[in-house]
Amino acid sequence: MDVYNRSFQQSIGKPGQTYFEWVQEPQDKDLVMDFNLLRKSQTQSRKSWMDVFAPDDLLRKDRDADAPALVDIGGATGTDAVQFRRRYPDIAGQTILQELPAVID
């Protein structure tokens, strides 16, 4: 199985290129933005992970305020990070969004 020539690569017409390489190409910025809007709409229509896994059971109120409470890796526009803070505003610690600059810009 050639993992660099699958349906994703065929759909963007770039065999051999990973998603992470593709999102950084300036000529595809409009398509990347459309793809991220699709991902965001899918996220909004599904059950939140916080409904399945309740982090308030694990995150003590006496936590170090400088320690990360949540790191949203590859979180696009930070939908999960925002929902986490809205639901748990009193949990100590930072909420961190890690994403490629091309996705956020």
Q: Look at 93 and 44; give whichever has higher pLDDT.
A: 93
Global pTM reads 0.61
Interval 29-56 mean pLDDT: 78
Whether 96 contacts 74, CB under 8 Å: no
**pLDDT (0 to 100) of residue 105:** 65
What average pLDDT does the structure give for the chain?
81
Rounded to an integer, the average pLDDT of 48-65 is 76
The pLDDT value recorded for residue 58 is: 65
Q: Is 17 helix (H, G, I), strand (E, B) or coil?
A: coil
pLDDT at 86: 92
Domain ranges of the chain: 7-104
